Chains A and B, each alone.
Chain A
Amino acid sequence: QQQVKQSPQSLIVQKGGISIINCAYENTAFDYFPWYQQFPGKGPALLIAIRPDVSEKKEGRFTISFNKSAKQFSLHIMDSQPGDSATYFCAADTGNQFYFGTGTSLTVIP
């Protein structure tokens, strides 16, 4: 059973557009929600993370929106660039184990 459901599986966005990736969870024990970016041949790298006591966190062009009551969180990439083309994973942590979404392959077209 997938603890963290991620959508869409793939996403194509024009340069300068907004990329939005969504994740949903059921386990209320999750208390840390990171997003990872992975380029081909590399391991995932932490992009941005949020804890459930805040509803939004912004770092540069990347924003996490968190809806605790709906048990959903999303990644917004503003002004998407071709260099953002990668696979993005959301994750959730209980304090004992990380659970990852299945990933979203983002392609930004010049």
Chain B
Amino acid sequence: KAGVTQTPRYLIKTRGQQVTLSCSPISGHRSVSWYQQTPGQGLQFLFEYFSETQRNKGNFPGRFSGRQFSNSRSEMNVSTLELGDSALYLCASSLEGAGMEQFFGPGTRLTVL
């Protein structure tokens, strides 16, 4: 079974721009969660989508948004990028969501200049 894939793997953007990251979950998994990983804060939960609906949301500003498509693929968008948004963005998929094993993708490394 193919694992979780994320594209692109690396991105360089400048302040004020916006960016869209993509995540393809493991086949059959309906839950996709997004995390921001930084050296100082560790993994911070952004949001979870399940069957095309945002089910849970972390404590991030509204510049961070996401969506999930009917095939469970998910995208995350960050608008008006700030230097502090530089991080590794990870997505994780699971069959039903929290409380079950999550499988992480390799992440997208975003650098904001």
Contacts and interface: CB of A to CB of B under 8 A. Distances in A.
Given A97-B58, A102-B41, A46 B101 contact: yes
Interface stretch (B12-20, B61-69, B102-110): B102-110
A45 B105 CA distance: 9
B90 interface: yes
**Interface residues on chain A, size class:** 20 to 34
Contact of A44 (B41, B55, B58, B104): B104
Tell me the dominant secondary structure on chain B's binding face.
strand
Contact of A98 (B33, B105, B106): B33
Contact of A32 (B33, B44, B45, B99): B99
A26 interface: no
A93 B98 contact: yes
23 contacts: A32-B98, A34-B101, A41-B106, A43-B92, A43-B104, A44-B90, A44-B104, A45-B104, A46-B101, A46-B103, A49-B101, A91-B43, A93-B98, A93-B99, A95-B99, A96-B56, A97-B48, A97-B56, A97-B58, A98-B98, A100-B43, A100-B45, A102-B42
